[in-house]
A and B are shown apart, each in its own frame.
Chain A
Amino acid sequence: MNIYSWIQLAFYLVVLLALVKPLGSFMARVYQGERTFLDPVLSSVERFIYRASGVNPEEEMNWKTYAIAMMVFNFLGFMALYGLQRFQAGLPLNPQGLGAVTPDSSWNTAVSFVTNTNWQGYGGEVTMSYLSQMLGLAVQNFVSAATGMAVLAAFVRSFARHTAKIIGNFWVDLTRSTLYILLPMSLIVALVLVSQGVVQTLSPYKTGALLQPTTDSSGKAVTEQVLAIGPAASQVAIKQLGTNGGGFFNVNSSHPFENATPFSNFSEMLSILMIPAALCYTFGKMVGDTRQGWALLVAMTIVFVLLLGVAILAEKGGNPVFTVMGVDQAQTNINPGGNMEGKEVRFGIVNSVLWATATTAASNGSVNSMHDSYMPIGGLVPLWLIQLGEIVYGGVGSGLSGMLVFVIIAVFVSGLMVGRTPEYLGKKIEAYEMKMASIVILIPVMVVLVGTAAAVMTEAGRATIHNPSAHGFSEVLYAFSSAGNNNGSAFAGLGANTSFYNIALGIAMFIARYWVMIPILAIASSLANKKKVPASAGTLPTHTPLFIAWLIGVIVLVGALSFLPALALGPIVEHIMIFG
């Protein structure tokens, strides 16, 4: 690691953490219905939306109504997205004349974008028309993120309230998340990206002459290539900010038209974690104790930084196989040193690994390098970050919700250890909360492990494993981990655009999203209904370094106990095989 690598890492973390407080307190104002500096512009738009859709913003919902509203809204979004893909051939804004997307791929993509997973079984530039991208995928990029944020807002409110049956209005939370947070921020990021050369156009694909003409497999001379373009910048901005990750182009942010310069790379990386990190402060602000929010942020950041370090070490260490082949892996001024396979020369090792760690820490899933080509341990880090449940920062809204569920479990066990019925922020944690929290922890583990088992046991699942080895196992495990935690990043190397994987991963994404969100709303309702117990000397403080350490311990222990056997048969044994 040279000094520039260190500076880039430090700069990233400092900017990220510096944004937490201003952005976090702004979002708190948004969710508490307070005035923001955007009100002069947006409040009339907001009122118009409510009037046009017949929503009474003053009327709050109980958790069931809230959940039903969420499900109905997401179902309609799913139907619209499915329809758009199936009928895109006959719809406008299809300059390349792309045909209808297959039913199983349409199902997979629709579930994928509605659930904020943004797993891509398809290649964007050869599958989706501009209309499907803009009206289908980009719209879901906004509203799936806003759905996650709305559920978090309701969850956080439940800690702040007492003896209340209502937890907020889904339509209001959804509208305000989109209107006040996601849209303005996307506008800024999109303009930054355009300034850096990320494409934004509705014109058809361009054809250019090759600088180095070549021949194809049949020996015919190839002198020109088609350059895929489109309205990318606007979609990339929300792809990053909304922890969506579904790229405009197939190779995602390693494509120069999607991620052009080091500065666009930095902006996109920052956009991944910006909102999830700042939501911690929003949480603290809304429950009236910002220390609680900082504690969660510190816990997340510690796990993030430690795992980032492991991955950087693994990639910097290089590949012994390359050494045998005589590939130069030494660090020089023009060589970042280490395993460069699958990485963009423009970004080098540190910025690739930082992206890979951030994108899997948050449930983003966009990539600027190919995780499949990472060293076994370098690949284990993103894989395990996903398996931890997408709570180290996590998806916008969903990440902090998941973290709070882990907090509830950590508080429960530690609360017992200090001899009191456990309580968090004055709310007693009892049987009902434990039931729902157990479901939230259990569902993703089940989806990942059972899905992987189904894939390796069936002919259809094994057929497209192109590396039938421990590495191939990692690829399948990664695919189901990604879908089963709504991340959406792909290890690649696995042929996933088959009806088996499209359907199986679609089911995985669906279960992982809603079977987690609905129990979370149920917990919210139960907590909102409880009295608030005033803190005393016998109350366990939940903002201390000790509690942060314990919380990290619980997260790591649950993650390790659930996935160690599977990881042992994938990346761990692969690592031992390579390094002996």
Chain B
Amino acid sequence: MSAKNKTQARRKIYQRAVLESFIKLNPRWMVRNPVMFVAEVGSALTTILWIQALLGQGKAPARFIGAIALWLWFTVLFANFSEAVAEGRGKAQAESLRKARQDTPAKKIRGEVKDVQSAFSKVEVVSSTELRKDDLYLVEAGDNLPADGEVVMGIASVDESAVTGESAPVVREAGGDRSAVTGGTRLLSDYLIVRVNADPGQGFLDRMISMVEGAKRQKTPNEIALNILLAGFTIIFLIVCATLLPYSIYSVGASGQGKPITITVLIALLICLIPTTIGGLLSAIGIAGIDRMIQHNVIAISGRAVEAAGNIDVLLLDKTGTITLGNRHAIAFIPLNGVAAQDLAETAQLASLADETPEGRSIVILAKERYGLRGQTMGASEKAPSGMRFIPFTAQTRMSGVNYNGVEIRKGAPDTIINLMQSNGNHVASDLQSIVEAIAHVGGTPLVVTRNNKALGVIHLKDIVKGGMKERFAQLRKMGIKTVMITGDNPLTAAAIAAEAGVDDFLAQATPEAKLKLIRAYQAGGRLVAMTGDGTNDAPALAQADVAVAMNTGTQPAREAANMVDLDSNPTKLIEIVEIGKQLLMTRGALTTFSLANDVSKYFAILPAAFATTYPQLNALNVMRLATPESAIMSAVIFNALIIIALIPLALQGVPYRAVGAAKLLRDNLLVYGLGGLIAPFVGIKLINMILVWIGWV
């Protein structure tokens, strides 16, 4: 989007928000927020008093009551505006997601499909809106996918950039972990036959969009708790202001002078005291939290999950792809006694020539770099004569290799090869076991190389830990989050990698059951667990975790089980997710403190003014030296309204989180929002009062 377009879009959001702020004045909407509801009732009452004053019945000048009423309405409108802006931003995000979901033609397949040919013959072009759950449709290269679904046949590359913003295409195929497709994405090659898994408007993205739009936004647990506290304070201030009238009447009698406090001033005082700053921004803070997730390309299924993210104590991370690069590299050839290193390297290279896995290629490269063995090709040559027959890796044999000229070269996992040698009655060299163990001990993966059933040596494969992971884990530790690495590796290997990566703990030889058990054990200990996953076998663990982030590339069961979906499919995103969750809570806490601390100054502004005629001596409390009683009250009310507008950016951006430990974080926030909240309004009210004097309102 160009800068100009952005400004335009932003202007549209603001225009819409202004309108929305008035629509939201509907008391049935307002009553959801007790603080602002009280503010609205106060504004309405003051307006009635103003009309009464216009009719000549007022206890105070109509000009004064009118100005108060106007600013009280502004207070309510500003609060509504903040919510509307947050919603507007969410809607804009949703809109861009929805753009991908315009009505597209769909090639619906009538009846059941037995084979691909029959499917092509049964196609009927309908609108995507006519697709229902369990319908089948066909997409071919260049088509847009009309609906979410599960691939039942075919393999194809899909451009999911509309959803993920990631331009590299991804592969989708029937069965397994890559079978989920999302409506609105585009097929780049081949064809797919897809079973629709939701009715229109019920699809995964639809649900997310409606979530983002706030239509189904429910208050989160912490928000409810905070709302209760704010309601409690509101009731206290209601009582304080309501009882002030009798006190004032009594005081007039006791001092024998002046007039009782007017209802207008009481309402002004009330609305200045009740926590309108946090009350008005509370809803915006919650919506903005979800918006910020979207800006990080994470879609949270519920606000509850965003909030829970801030509370995470334990983070479960898959080793492969998250902590380490997805593949291992050969770093050394270790020959057995009596075997030349050159010989081992050569044999290992031969065994890997046809091995296109990254591990296999790294063996060829290492042999080339370390031992100058180059030019080994698959064609006939002296070193690799024709007639080479490559044996691919299978799950049964768990080894691969090459046969040529009656020579059998194999490489494979140590236990498999040793077993094989023993069953063939071959002698196993005594130093083989110790080499294998030594490699496993430092976190490497040993591969034994044999020639004609005789072990030559071991290839040391090593996991490569991604750059910067150690720092990120240290950061998490400072946040108070324990990281646990999950891996299928044996405990020795796992421990070594865990130490290298700097995670706090690991779960080796992890099965889905073991993962689930681990999560339950942590939860039973009172901890909140977050995990990422993509496979179907992750689904139970994801469902059990408190914060479960599914990769968008993951299967439908995984996505359904999770409460967040990362469109970028980046497992380290959890760290940002946790930060956003924390920011959400911090913003609420900081603004609550700020809001309540503000009240002190308002007493100093309003109390002397309210009792100016009864107890003129109380002007000693007018430490801000505000010009007149009326202007003092006016300034406090204006400040109270403007501070909401001033804090909208903070509510939307969130209070920045830094991983410095709870105590330091609290100290800094208390200084800024507590002490700042105490002092800032004294300055603000005084400034507003000076402006009122300057423009001649006083």
Q: Which residue of B lies closest to A467 (CB)?
A: B254
Q: Are A413 and B589 in contact (CB under 8 A)?
A: yes
Does B64 sit within 8 A of A, measured CB to CB?
Answer: no
Q: Are A546 and B667 in contact (CB under 8 A)?
A: yes
Q: Are A536 and B482 in contact (CB under 8 A)?
A: yes
Q: Which residues of A contact B248 (CB under 8 A)?
A: 569
Pick the contact of B247: A415, A437, A438, A565 (CB < 8 A).
Answer: A565
Does B236 sit within 8 A of A, measured CB to CB?
Answer: yes
Q: Which residues of A contact B480 (CB under 8 A)?
A: 420, 536-539
Interface residues of A in 482-504 (CB under 8 A from B): none
Contact stretch, chosen from B198-206, B435-443, B591-599? B591-599
Does A51 sit within 8 A of B, measured CB to CB?
Answer: no
Q: Which residue of A lies closest to B599 (CB)?
A: A561
Q: How far is the CA of A472 from the CA of B666 in the complex (A)?
A: 43
Give the number of residues in B that approach A within 8 Å (Cβ atoms): 74
Q: Which residues of A contact B164 (CB under 8 A)?
A: none
Q: Are A417 and B589 in contact (CB under 8 A)?
A: yes
With contact pairs A419-B657, A573-B617 given, residues A561 and B596 touching in the complex (Cβ less than 8 Å):
yes
Q: Which residues of B contact A42 (CB under 8 A)?
A: none
Q: Which residues of B contact A412 (CB under 8 A)?
A: 225-226, 229
Q: Which residues of B contact A416 (CB under 8 A)?
A: 222, 226, 585-586, 588-590, 592
Query: How near does chain B come to A366, taking the closest CB pair, in angstroms?
Result: 29
Does A200 sit within 8 A of B, measured CB to CB?
Answer: no
Q: Are B224 and A431 in contact (CB under 8 A)?
A: yes
Q: Which residue of B lies closest to A438 (CB)?
A: B232
Interface residues of A in 524-556 (CB under 8 A from B): 531-534, 536-541, 544, 546-547, 550, 553
A-B contact pairs, 17 of them (CB 8 A): A413-B592, A417-B666, A419-B665, A431-B221, A435-B228, A453-B243, A456-B246, A470-B251, A470-B255, A536-B482, A538-B480, A538-B481, A538-B661, A557-B600, A561-B236, A564-B607, A568-B607
Does B60 sit within 8 A of A, measured CB to CB?
Answer: no
Pick the contact of B311: A420, A565, A572 (CB < 8 A).
Answer: A420
Query: How near does chain A come to B571, taking the closest CB pair, in angstroms?
Result: 21
Does B390 sit within 8 A of A, measured CB to CB?
Answer: no
Q: Which residues of A contact B235 (CB under 8 A)?
A: 442, 446
Interface residues of B in 429-486 (CB under 8 A from A): 477-482
Interface residues of A in 458-479 (CB under 8 A from B): 462, 468-470, 472-473
Contact stretch, chosen from B147-155, B173-181, B668-676, B680-688? B668-676
Besides A417-B589, A561-B236, 6 other CB < 8 A contacts? A417-B670, A434-B225, A449-B239, A456-B250, A562-B236, A565-B603
Does B663 sit within 8 A of A, measured CB to CB?
Answer: yes
Q: Which residues of A contact B527 (CB under 8 A)?
A: 533-534
Pick the contact of B670: A421, A433, A550 (CB < 8 A).
Answer: A550
With contact pairs A470-B254, A538-B479, A541-B663 given, residues A577 and B617 touching in the complex (Cβ less than 8 Å):
yes
Interface residues of B in 389-408 (CB under 8 A from A): none
Q: Are B586 and A417 in contact (CB under 8 A)?
A: yes
Does B310 sit within 8 A of A, measured CB to CB?
Answer: yes
Does A27 sit within 8 A of B, measured CB to CB?
Answer: no
Q: Which residues of A contact B254 (CB under 8 A)?
A: 468-470, 472-473
Q: Are B311 and A421 in contact (CB under 8 A)?
A: yes
Query: How near does chain B come to A578, taking the closest CB pair, in angstroms?
Result: 10
Query: Could you mark each residue 220-256 of chain A with 1 if its beta carbon is under 8 Å from any beta carbon of chain B, else 0?
Result: 0000000000000000000000000000000000000
Q: How far is the CA of A342 from the CA of B244 in the complex (A)?
A: 30
Q: Are B478 and A431 in contact (CB under 8 A)?
A: no
Does B253 sit within 8 A of A, measured CB to CB?
Answer: yes
Q: How far is the CA of A532 from the CA of B526 in the complex (A)?
A: 6
Q: Are B243 and A450 in contact (CB under 8 A)?
A: yes
Q: Are A576 and B620 in contact (CB under 8 A)?
A: yes
Does B231 sit within 8 A of A, measured CB to CB?
Answer: yes
Pick the contact of A569: B251, B310, B588, B599 (CB < 8 A).
Answer: B251
Query: Could you mark each residue 409-442 of chain A with 1 if its beta carbon is under 8 Å from any beta carbon of chain B, else 0?
Result: 1001111111111000010011101110111011
- Residue among A415, A429, A536, A539 with max Cβ neighbours from chain B (10 Å): A536
Q: Which residues of B contact A426 (CB under 8 A)?
A: 526
Q: Which residue of B lies closest to A456 (CB)?
A: B250
Q: Which residues of B contact A560 (CB under 8 A)?
A: 600
With contact pairs A416-B586, A453-B243, A576-B618 given, residues A434 and B666 touching in the complex (Cβ less than 8 Å):
no
Q: How far is the CA of A452 from the CA of B480 in the complex (A)?
A: 49
Does B240 sit within 8 A of A, measured CB to CB?
Answer: yes
Q: Which residues of B contact A546 (CB under 8 A)?
A: 663, 666-667, 670
Q: Which residue of B lies closest to A436 (CB)?
A: B228
Q: Which residues of A contact B582 (CB under 8 A)?
A: 418-420
Does A71 sit within 8 A of B, measured CB to CB?
Answer: no
Q: How far is the CA of A426 from the CA of B525 in the complex (A)?
A: 11
Q: Which residues of B contact A531 (CB under 8 A)?
A: 524-526
With contact pairs A409-B229, A441-B232 given, residues A550 and B666 touching in the complex (Cβ less than 8 Å):
yes
Pick the contact of B239: A418, A450, A539 (CB < 8 A).
Answer: A450
Q: Are A540 and B663 in contact (CB under 8 A)?
A: yes
Q: How far is the CA of A217 from the CA of B534 in the complex (A)?
A: 98
Q: Which residue of A lies closest to B310 (CB)?
A: A419
Q: Which residues of B contact A534 (CB under 8 A)?
A: 313, 525-527
Q: How far is the CA of A409 from the CA of B228 in the complex (A)?
A: 11
Query: How near does chain B come to A473, taking the closest CB pair, in angstroms?
Result: 6
Q: Which residue of A lies closest to B261 (CB)?
A: A565
Q: Are A418 and B240 in contact (CB under 8 A)?
A: no
Q: Are A434 and B310 in contact (CB under 8 A)?
A: no
- Residue among B597, B666, B673 with max Cβ neighbours from chain A (10 Å): B666
Query: How near does chain B come to A63, taking the closest CB pair, in angstroms?
Result: 19
Query: How near does chain A come to B481, taking the closest CB pair, in angstroms?
Result: 7
Q: Which residues of B contact A565 (CB under 8 A)?
A: 240, 244, 247, 603, 607
Q: Which residues of A contact B618 (CB under 8 A)?
A: 568, 572-573, 576
Q: Are A417 and B244 in contact (CB under 8 A)?
A: no
Q: Are B589 and A414 in contact (CB under 8 A)?
A: yes
Q: How far is the CA of A433 from the CA of B232 in the complex (A)?
A: 12
Q: How far is the CA of A547 from the CA of B663 in the complex (A)?
A: 9
Q: Which residues of A contact B479 (CB under 8 A)?
A: 537-538
Q: Which residues of A contact B525 (CB under 8 A)?
A: 531, 534
Q: How far is the CA of A417 from the CA of B479 in the complex (A)?
A: 13
Q: Are A438 and B588 in contact (CB under 8 A)?
A: no
Does B46 sit within 8 A of A, measured CB to CB?
Answer: no
Q: How far is the CA of A430 from the CA of B585 in the complex (A)?
A: 13
Does B273 sit within 8 A of A, measured CB to CB?
Answer: yes
Q: Are B229 and A438 in contact (CB under 8 A)?
A: yes
Q: Which residue of A lies closest to B244 (CB)?
A: A565
Q: Are A566 and B243 in contact (CB under 8 A)?
A: yes
Does A445 sit within 8 A of B, measured CB to CB?
Answer: yes
Query: How near does chain A come to B559, taking the closest CB pair, in angstroms?
Result: 26
Interface residues of B in 193-249 (CB under 8 A from A): 221-222, 224-226, 228-229, 231-232, 235-237, 239-240, 242-244, 246-249
Query: Could you mark each residue 326-355 of chain A with 1 if its beta carbon is under 8 Å from any beta carbon of chain B, else 0?
Result: 000000000000000000000000000000
Q: How far is the CA of A457 from the CA of B253 in the complex (A)?
A: 11
